[in-house]
């Protein structure tokens, strides 16, 4: 049966999966959501015998119904290959009573690789299916990790160009170096003087600019997105929660049907939304634990039912979560509003106009699957240090936020359910924050001295993603004001 996608903001005509991937954002500014969530097609016993690639096919074919078996399997094979430094793609590590789902074994050592390794293949396949003749221009805002993962995925992919905007002083030194050294004739990286929300708003405005779209079309281009607003980003993320559950069963850590908790460090809400989708497909998940840093707009939302971005923007040691407008939350809001597009559109208009909105009591009651909490900077550093001292296992700052929030939840709820913590980035990506948390004797070392020290204490090999940027030349040094983003796009495309 064909699964179609509709906008969260209007009752416009639904589109196929490939069209939703190509467009990225609906014409009315809404996000594409499936008309209904499919059910898992296999038993846990069957899934437990499968490779990551096989699980990916079983899950994704239920969502991407207009892709043929050959097309989808080809996309999966090209995405989940030797780019990953572990055969399991997403291994589980047990430490101090929880299972850390390591989602950082791809080319850019962050969880974004899990979806951005496959998105270019889904997108170019979708373009062929829909007879698109234009060159596709990927436009993306990043809080640090999406940018590099998207650049690596799309670099030199025929028929595409990619432009990434990032907050100039809002990412880690390693994250910035990864982006500005990116090779590929079709890649362009732009720093903006502003924060991630400014970058994200600018990108959305460019997408909504009808006059620009016309000008682009005349020049042989069309926009698409690699941000988690693209359903082609979200669907591959559902896979690793299903895979994690199957692995726990295969390792005799749980029985078939036994519930697990999932903890996710959360910024734009896509990663935890994918876990929510997995739960709605029938994966036995008990609590979805939403972990925030000091930019705790989501924690406040789960506590009060009010989403309010009118607050100071705090730069933290977990920059991928320094976000006050969590775009993917809209998909959840739409669902708990009973798929009422008008209601959702009103909430989003209120967010745009007043910086806040309040959901109804009936909608708040629909959030019982979620638990929200946050960890401040001191708690984050302590969690890295405590886990290392207890177990020798080193985690990055984002994973530490999740780990600390899990401890808070366990204390409050006295819940001993088997728990998976999404480990979203390698500690090598945030060496200074990680090493300073472990011992202040590292304070005066350079970034790459810290890399070598981390390798020693964690007994792990320095990832290739870090080795290759040690001496890589800077290839991108454009920095613009936040109101100059559109002009930067036109310059890169020579329009």
- Asked if 447 and 435 count as a contact pair (C-beta separation under 8 A), the reply is no
CB 290 within 8 A of CB 298: yes
Round to whole Å and give the CA distance between 321 and 70.
37
Q: Collapsing DSSP states into helix, strand and coil, what is residue 135?
A: strand
Q: How far apart are CA 430 and CA 169, in angstroms?
A: 15
On whether the CB atoms of residues 303 and 314 are closer than 8 A, the answer is: no
What residues act catalytically? 112
Residue 422 and residue 244: Cα distance in Å, rounded?
A: 10
Give the integer Cα–Cα distance in Å for 171 and 144: 5
Residue with tokens 């870090």: 466
Strand ranges across the sheet with 419-423: 92-95, 98-102, 419-423, 260-265, 285-292, 370-374
Here the tokens at position 15 are 């589109």
Q: How far apart are CA 298 and CA 306, in angstroms?
A: 9
Distances (CA, A) of 386 to 8, 166, 410: 43, 32, 16
Per DSSP, 13 falls in state: P
Chain center to CA of 363: 25
When computed from its CA atoms, the radius of gyration of the chain, rounded to whole angstroms, is 21
Residue 19 · residue 7 · CB < 8 Å: no
Please tell me the distance from the alpha carbon of residue 192 to that of residue 176, in angstroms, as a whole number. Answer: 12
For residue 469, give the DSSP letter. Answer: T
CA distances from 317 to 99, 185, 375 (A): 23, 32, 11
Are 148 and 179 within 8 A, CB to CB?
Answer: yes
**CA dihedral in degrees (423, 427, 429, 431; nearest 10)?**
150
Burial of 443 (0-12, 13-18, 19+ CB in 10 A): exposed
Helix (H, G, I), strand (E, B) or coil at 302: helix
CA distance 192 to 209: 20
**Pairwise CA distance, residues 139 & 160, whole Å:** 11
Q: Which two tokens stand for residue 2?
A: 């064909």
* Nearest alpha carbon to residue 31 among 317, 332, 282: 332
Give kind and range of the element (H or E) at residue 269: none
Residue 225: strand pairing partners: 139
């Amino acid at each position: 049966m064909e699964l179609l996608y509709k906008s969260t903001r209007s009752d416009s005509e639904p589109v196929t999966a490939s069209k939703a991937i190509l467009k990225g954002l609906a014409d009315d500014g809404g996000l594409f959501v499936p008309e209904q969530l499919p059910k898992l097609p296999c038993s846990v016993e069957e899934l437990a015998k499968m490779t990551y690639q096989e699980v990916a096919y079983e899950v994704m074919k239920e969502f991407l119904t207009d892709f043929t078996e050959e097309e989808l399997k080809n996309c999966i094979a090209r995405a989940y290959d030797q780019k990953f430094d572990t055969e399991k793609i997403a291994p589980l590590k047990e430490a101090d009573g929880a299972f850390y789902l390591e989602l950082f074994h791809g080319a850019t050592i962050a969880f974004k690789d899990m979806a951005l390794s496959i998105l270019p293949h889904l997108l170019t396949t979708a373009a062929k299916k829909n007879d698109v003749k234009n060159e596709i221009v990927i436009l993306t805002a990043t809080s640090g990790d999406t940018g590099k993962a998207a650049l690596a995925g799309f670099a030199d992919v025929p028929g595409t160009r990619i432009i990434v905007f990032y907050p100039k002083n809002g990412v880690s030194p390693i994250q910035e170096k990864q982006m500005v050294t990116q090779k590929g004739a079709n890649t362009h990286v732009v720093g903006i003087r502003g924060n991630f929300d400014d970058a994200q708003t600018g990108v959305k405005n460019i997408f909504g600019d009808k006059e620009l779209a016309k000008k682009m079309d005349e020049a042989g281009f069309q926009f698409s997105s690699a941000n988690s607003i693209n359903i082609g980003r979200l669907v591959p993320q559902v896979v690793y929660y299903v895979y994690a559950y199957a692995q726990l069963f295969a390792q005799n850590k749980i029985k078939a049907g036994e519930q697990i908790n999932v903890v996710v460090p959360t910024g734009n809400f896509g990663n935890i939304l994918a876990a929510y989708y997995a739960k709605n497909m029938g994966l036995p998940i008990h609590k979805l634990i939403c972990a925030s840093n000091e930019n705790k707009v989501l924690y406040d939302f789960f506590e009060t039912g009010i989403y309010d971005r009118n607050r100071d923007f705090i730069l933290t040691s977990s920059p991928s979560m320094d976000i006050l407008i969590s775009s993917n939350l809209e998909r959840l809001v739409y669902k708990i509003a009973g798929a009422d597009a008008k209601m959702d559109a009103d909430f989003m208009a209120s967010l745009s106009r007043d910086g806040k909105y309040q959901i109804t009591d009936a909608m708040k009651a629909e959030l019982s699957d979620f638990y929200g909490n946050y960890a401040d900077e001191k708690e984050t550093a302590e969690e890295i240090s405590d886990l290392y001292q207890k177990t020798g296992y080193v985690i990055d700052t984002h994973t530490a936020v999740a780990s600390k929030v899990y401890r808070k939840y366990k204390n409050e709820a006295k819940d001993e359910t088997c728990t998976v913590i999404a480990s979203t980035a390698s500690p090598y990506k945030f060496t200074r924050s990680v090493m300073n948390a472990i011992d202040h004797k590292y304070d005066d070392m350079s970034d790459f001295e810290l890399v070598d020290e981390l390798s020693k204490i964690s007994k792990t090999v320095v990832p290739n993603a870090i080795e290759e940027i040690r001496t890589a030349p800077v290839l991108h040094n454009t920095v613009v004001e936040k109101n100059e983003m559109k002009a930067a796009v036109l310059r890169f495309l020579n329009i």
